[in-house]
Amino acid sequence: AQSVTQLDSHVSVSEGTPVLLRCNYSSSYSPSLFWYVQHPNKGLQLLLKYTSAATLVKGINGFEAEFKKSETSFHLTKPSAHMSDAAEYFCVVSGRGTNAGKSTFGDGTTLTVKP
């Protein structure tokens, strides 16, 4: 079985301050992990992915995430928030074995960026 938990449903930061969006996962196999962003009335856009290569993954728009197997975490960070980062963010685990081909989505974290 696989699951993903986004630990915060809402995160609010000021523009120019760091962003941390937390994600824990559970998987019977070494997982593939993804972060997606969704702006209002749009589909999901891939930010970055982890597929068992480097544990620190760099994505688009200055985001990065670190895979920590011992903590079963894949937290998303950005050093300095921009107003355009305000959106909903989804952590996704994608499986193997009996979960092959299926992705499990977290419930999402809404990021608010204050001027």
Contacting positions for another protein (CB under 8 A): 31-32, 34, 36, 41-46, 49, 51-52, 90, 94-96, 99-103, 105-108
Our CA angle for 60, 62, 64, nearest 5°, is 80
Judged by beta carbon, residue 67 or residue 81, the one nearer another protein is 67
In the chain, % helix, strand, coil (3-state, to 5) comes to 10, 55, 35
Quote the least distance from Cβ 46 to another protein, whole Å. Answer: 5
Token pair for residue 40? 């209002």
- Our CB check for another protein shows the closer of 29 and 80 to be 29
Strand, helix or coil at 60?
helix
If the CB atoms of residues 55 and 80 are measured against another protein, the closer one turns out to be: 55
Q: Residue 36 CB, nearest distance to another protein (Å)?
A: 8
Other C-beta atoms within 10 Å of 108: how many?
19
| CB 44, min distance to another protein, A | 4
